Structure 1
Amino acid sequence: MPLYKEIVCNENAKLYLWKITEEIEFFKHAVLLKDVSQKRVDAMKSESHQKGFLAVRMLLQHVGYTDFDLYYDAFGKPHLSDGKCISISHSHTFSAIAISDQPIGLDVEQVKEKVLKIASRFMDVSHLENLSDAEKMKKATVIWGIKESIFKIKNETGISFPKHIFEEEFNLESKKTIAQLQFNAKTENFNVVFDSVEEYIYVCAFEVDPNFLQ
């Protein structure tokens, strides 16, 4: 299908979602790739990963870019040739990109029961108290997405999800919160927005705005 949804994260950032329903041949004919990207696709053993990769390029084309405008630095972080900031995520049937005037991190995750089994490895599980099982799965997925999104922005070796990234207490209905990265004797604050799309959660993190929660 075409673009599934366009979401305004803040005045400087938009999120674009593609729901993958097409056959692989559709993407191969619709997307123009530079040589290095074509080699990456050819090396992928999973067709699902190929589709996710190519759907990201469809989103780029939708907003006026191509694969030739996208490049990765030595740490694997994506960049756009015009200086705009970009973050990319793919989970099963959804691919997504977020484009912003400021550094941004994006994560899309399918809500699964497994997240509760590993929650204690990456978060303070007291933040899940007094919730139903369905709410616990959803909130834990949001918290994983918060940590993943902030890590994508900073992308520094040594950052630990449970030891260095902390979210303020929030409820799911608010669809936003604030989180901190405490690393290398420095504290950095981030605004976070999140919501659900079908059985998925998307999370966007970006540099703090003092009026964010007002």
Structure 2
Amino acid sequence: MAIAFRKQVDADTEIALWRIEEDADTLYHKLQLNEQEKAYVDQLANGKRHLHWLGTRVLLRTMLDTTNYIDCRIDTHGKPYLYDMPYHISLSHSFDYAAVMISKSRPVGIDIEQIKQKVERIAPKFLRHEEQAAIDADNKIAHLYVCWCAKEAIYKCYGQKEVSFLDNIALERFPFTAEGSLQAHLHKGELHIDYKVDFLQYEDYMIGYVKA
């Protein structure tokens, strides 16, 4: 399958989704991997985790439109980066989809989640009381997923560990729509960063994405 959805965010930033319909062997043969990457893939049990790793890399290769080897590494905080290409990247996946965001100028973060009822049970673990109070009762589950995806996207964009969704990332009140944006703030010690997070619903998935 080719790219299922693609959006140009600005002149040098875009996001895309890949619906993973291929088997692992088909995805594997779309990639160039070094020996370390091959060994890592061999360690992954066949299943969604295997397909997700391959799917995000196939999508990244497709977006970068290159036949050269892509040296995609993971830093000490778990953030993926390209060693010898001038792009910031962020990767995500959920069930049947892989998602990638790339930018030539600034750090980025993207998160995709399939919309499920379970998010309501964990909402108090990632939303403050005032954030929970702002949720649209008529669209509660989808609205909660916007909040989760926004905080996850910010976490990935910031790119360092030891950030609490509950204590360090605050969302301003925003109305629920199928596509829109919200204002958010990351506070940690002396650090204060403001973000504008975009979001959209695609089929039964929610996507949040942000550029620093």
Settle same-fold status: TM greater than 0.5. yes
Task: Tell whether 2:24 aligns with 1:24.
Answer: yes
Structure 2, unmatched stretches of 5+, are none
1:199 aligns with 2:201: no
- For residues 10 and 143 of structure 1, the distance between their equivalents in structure 2, rounded to whole angstroms, comes to 23
Task: Tell me the equivalent position of 2:11.
Answer: 11
> 1:97 & 1:67 partners in 2: Cα distance?
18
Question: Residue deviations 1:111-145, cap 9 Å, x none?
Answer: 110001110110131121x522xx11111111111
Distance 1:160 1:95, change over 3 A: same
Q: Partner of 1:40 in structure 2?
A: 40
Residue of structure 2 aligned with 1:98, choices 92, 101, 104: 101
- Residue 143 of structure 1 is matched in structure 2 by 147
Using the TM superposition, give the Cα deviation of residue 88 of structure 1 relative to its aligned residue in structure 2, in angstroms: 0.3
Q: CA RMSD in A?
A: 1.6
8 A Cα contact 2:151 2:169, kept in partner: yes
Q: Is the 8 A contact 1:56 1:97 kept in 2?
A: yes
**Residues in 1 aligned to 2:53 and 2:161: alpha-carbon distance in whole angstroms:** 25
How many pairs does the alignment contain? 204
| Aligned-partner Cα distance in 1 for 2:182–2:12 | 18
**1:68 match: secondary structure:** coil
Picking from 62, 69, 72, the partner of 1:70 is 72
Moved segments of 4+, more than 4 Å? none
Within 2, Cα distance between the matches of 1:67 and 1:151? Answer: 28
Deviation at 1:46, TM superposition (A): 4.0
Rounded Cα–Cα distance in structure 1 between residues aligned with 2:46 and 2:132: 34
User: 1:154 matched to which residue of 2?
Assistant: 158
Secondary structure, aligned partner of 1:192 = strand
SS at match of 2:210: strand
Tell me the SS of whatever aligns to 2:45: coil
Q: Bigger CA drift: 23-32 or 92-101? A: 23-32
SS of residue matched to 1:175: strand
Measure, in 1, the Cα distance between the counterparts of 2:2 and 2:22: 10
SS of 1:113 mapped into structure 2: coil
Gaps of 5+ in 1: 208-214
* SS across alignment from 1:169: coil
For 1:204 and 1:184, locate their aligned partners in 2 and report how far apart those are by CA, in whole Å.
24
> Identity of paired residues, percent?
27
Cα offset for 1:155?
2.8
Matching residue of 1:211: none
CA contact (8 A) 2:100 2:110 kept: yes
